Structures are given as C-alpha cells and as structure tokens.
Amino acid sequence: MKQLVITLIGTDRPGLVETLSDTVFKHHGNWQASSLSKLAGKFAGIIQIDIKNDDAKALSIALDNISELDVLITDAPHQSEPDSTTHSLTVTGNDRPGIIQEVTREIAKFGININNLESTAQSAANSGGVIFTADFDLDIANTTSLDDLGEALEGLSDDLIVEFDTNDIH
C-alpha cells in the first residue's frame, strides 16, 4: 500500500467531485481525506488516497484523462507521530493587506506547522467596513506556550482578535 496526495485545479462543473470519487473507487483507491473548494469559478482541491502499488499507475492515467483538471500526484511519506497537539486558531480584524503574511510569520517563528488555513473577507453590517477572518488548524509542539503565541499575534495590531480552541482536533 502507498499513500498518494493528489492536487487538482480546473474549471468547475456540476458532478466533478462525483467523477473524481468514482475514478478513485474504480481504481481501488481509498479516499482518506480531502479539501475541495470553488474559488473564482475554478475548482481546486487536494485529496489523500490509500492505494495498492499495482493500482496507482492506472489511477494516475485515469485522473489525467479528466479533461477539466490539471492533476499533480505525489507519494506521501509515512510519518511518525510528532510530540504535538492540533489546535484551532481564529484571527479576526479589519481587512487590510498583509494580515496573513504577518500572522504566518509569527506562527513560523514558533516553529508551528499549519495543517489547514481558510480565510474570508466580508462586509461588516454595522461599520460598513470589511472584516477579515482566518481559521487555522495548527500542529503546536506540546512545549510551546499558547499564551506566548497569543500575545505575539495580538501584538501585531490593536484590532486583531485571537482565539484558540484548546480542544484537540481529530
């Protein structure tokens, strides 16, 4: 068995995810995890698949034949469990250029890995401005202080609100 990470981008259409899932199933792949989105009219995604070595080449060819998509397939190395805990972090503030850059720079200073990042910018009903929100799933070493990280992030701007969900994410 091997694990594949499949990255996809292309023109979105109804039924595209079904086509992907059917292709994986027909080639004896086991869909483990995914993150799929429609952004600016494009379909973008990443999928983790478990598959027998003998079936991987046929799956690769079949995925390449889905005309709407550009596909990149890489082998995923098997990794041992790190001495860390996954926490969610939400950062909210008035929208402005550079928020993601500043926040990710601070996260990197603490040696923290970002597992997932989702962000939105939307109109604030009361103020007429735009509110930016970023939701992170972070692998944080058990020796790292969440208080220190929170203080560093809050120090970036007076209007940033930083919230941790200290429950483990599974």
> Does residue 170 surpass a pLDDT of 60?
no
Contact 87, 138 (CB under 8 A): yes
Dmax over CA atoms of the chain, in Å, equals 58
Q: pLDDT above 90 covers what percent of the chain?
A: 82
Question: What would the 3-class secondary structure string for 93-161 be?
Answer: EECCCCHHHHHHHHHHHCCCEEEEEEEEEEECCCCCCEEEEEEEEEEEECCCCHHHHHHHHHCCCCCCE
Please give the pLDDT value at position 126: 76
Write the pLDDT tens digit of every residue in 152-167: 999 999 889 999 986 6
Surface-to-core class of residue 20, CB atoms within 10 Å of its CB (0-12 exposed, 13-18 middle, 19+ buried): buried
Q: Residue 161 and residue 139: Cα distance in Å, rounded? A: 20
Q: Report residue 30 as tokens.
A: 């086991």
pLDDT of the residue at 168: 53
Output the pLDDT for position 125: 78
Per residue in 137-146, pLDDT (tens digit) is 999 999 999 9
**Helix, strand, or coil here: 49?**
strand
Cβ contact 134:119 at 8 Å: yes
**Structure-model confidence comparison of residues 77 and 117, the more confident one:** 117
Q: How far apart (Å, rounded) are the C-alpha atoms in residues 119 and 65? A: 32
List, in sequence order, every residue forming a beta bridge with 130; answer none if it has no partner. Answer: 123
Q: Which tens digit of pLDDT belongs to each residue from 105-114? A: 999 999 999 9
Higher pLDDT, 153 or 128: 153
Mean pLDDT of 2-23: 96
